[in-house]
Every structure is written in structure tokens, then in C-alpha cells.
Structure 1
């Protein structure tokens, strides 16, 4: 029994330490967007050769408003030269899996204006009455906020639900920008 408990604790510790890491190094799926805001839409395939940072968010999500939305704004300033040079793309996907009537495109536009978000924002497509939108399914996100960092070859190098150490994200983005796939 003691050996079983020890193995269980080690397994749980490993799982907690690797949360968000097990999804890494898989080919990023194409997103399925019903509408783009703040610019013309894009496809993941058209971004090959660039590092891509995606923030999956909802406008009423407390973690999004306290962590991922401000972090994206900070990273946009920090990586402004790389974004301007076309080496890095930062975009957000409004992936609503609850409160669809409230979190509609009109309210999203007002939210983006209030938060001064000018990056490209896609609205994750819902098929019929399915509560879970298509891109959320494809990326296997567990909720919001969730962030993904995709390398120049189109592979997910980092995907994390909730908050994380932003310095580790900066370090990975810098590695990927110089072509070092690194170990996330």
C-alpha cells in the first residue's frame, strides 16, 4: 500500500509539473474563425516562418482580464520591433464556451475598444448549437485564459491554461525568433 501511495504521489507531482507541457511539440491545428476584428483574417498556414502567440480568451473571464490580456499588451510593447518586422504575430481568439448571448460580437467590439486592443482578434466558430467552439476543440484548450506559442514550423512549443511565469514565455519567444526550437 505504501509503495502504491508513493507512486501515486510521484505521478500527481509529475502531472502538476507538466501541466500544459504535454501538449507541446505537436502540429498546431488550423483555427476556425467566424469573424475577424481589427483587420483581415489570416490562416495559420499563411504564418509559416513566423512565431505565433495566441491568447484564447473570453471578455468576461477574470483570469483573462487580470493575466492574459495585460500580458499580451506588455509583450506587444516588448516585442514591437519583431512584430513590425513580421517575425512575430500576436493574435487573440475569443473562444466562448459559456454565456454566448452575453459575449456577442457587439460587446466584444466594445470591450476591445475599451481595452485599446488593436491586434487581430478572431471569434471562434460555433457549429449549430454546440457549446464548445471549433478552435477550442482543435487546440484542446481547457478554458480561458489559455495561451499557445507556435514555432516557425507550425508546431506548438508551449500551451498553458491559466497563469504561468511570463519570463519563461519571453525566453521561449526569443529562442524561437532566432530559430532555436529549445525545450519549452
Structure 2
């Protein structure tokens, strides 16, 4: 479902086992992504930088404007914004209107964020903006769970 990774050689389910996972589904030209979810992910990256039991992931899931939101432009954007967490490029199949991950996980649009506990259960999934304090409190709680 991921055609290419940026800032990572690629992540496997084994890599993520036993970790809290925060996934930001975003697009380059999404205003909510640029003003809300991407800065939030960078904030959380700094907050949890010393923790080994959390993984932040961005999924660039393009469902419109494919010619403007290319992997080359994404790599340039990641470099300009100094984004350091792994970013996967959602696999696009030209015969489908939506990319693979978006279809399989019923992503409604961008930004959409999911928080998954250490046992692989989705504990939070939201499209658009949300109360970041509540989400951060959930992450902190999940990090204390076994």
C-alpha cells in the first residue's frame, strides 16, 4: 500500500509491534494539513523524541491534483519543513479514484489522524481538526499501558 518511504527504509508490522502509533493522513496542498496536522506531528515528535514505544507516521494520500503533488515535490517539502518522522507515499493505481491505503482504511479525506494502541487497536480516528489536548492525553495514557 506504500509505494515509497521518505525518512525511513520502510516500516513493517514487526517494527511497530508493541508501540503506540500515530498516523497522519495528509496531502501537500491541504490547508488543514499544513496549518494543523503536520505542525502537530512535529510538536509530538519533539515531545516523545526519547521514547522507543511510540511511532509517528505520515501517509501522503493524494486523491486529487496528482500532477501537482508528486513524490519529488513531497521530498522537497519534507526537506524545507525539516520533517523527520517517516512518511509513506500511498500507492496510487490509475484505474482507481482513490489510493490504496485510503480505500482499505476508509480514510475520508485529509487531514485525518489515527492513534493505535500497543495491541494494534484503533483508539482514535478523526477527520479534520480536533482537541489536541485530549488526543495528547490519550497518547500519554496509551504509553503507560502494557
So what's the TM-score if we normalise by structure 2? 0.96
Return the alpha-carbon distance in structure 2 between the equivalents of residues 139 and 45 of structure 1: 19
Relative to total residues, which structure has the larger helix share, 1 or 2? 1
Structure whose alpha-carbon radius of gyration is higher: 1
C-alpha distance in 1 between matches for 2:26 and 2:97: 15
Matched, 1:53 2:22: yes
Query: Gaps (5+ residues) in structure 1?
Result: 1-31
In structure 2, runs of 5+ residues without a counterpart are none
Q: Which of 103, 106, 115 is the equivalent residue of 1:137?
A: 103
Match for residue 118 of structure 2 among 152, 155, 160: 152
- CA gap 1:154/1:45 in 2 versus in 1, 3 angstroms: farther
Q: Alignment partner for residue 168 of structure 1, among 127, 134, 137?
A: 134
Give the match for residue 87 of structure 2.
121
* TM-score, length-scaled by structure 1: 0.76
Q: Classify the secondary structure of the residue corresponding to 1:158.
A: strand
Q: State the number of aligned residues.
A: 146
Measure, in 2, the Cα distance between the counterparts of 1:65 and 1:127. 25
Does the Cα contact within 8 Å between 1:38 and 1:121 map onto a contact in 2? yes
Deviations 1:32-91, CA, capped at 9 Å, x for gaps: 100011111012353110000000000110000010011001111111221xxx200001
Q: CA RMSD in A?
A: 1.1
- 2:2 is matched with 33
- The alpha-carbon deviation at position 105 of structure 1 amounts to 0.4
Ranges of 4+ aligned residues in structure 1 off by more than 2 Å: 43-46
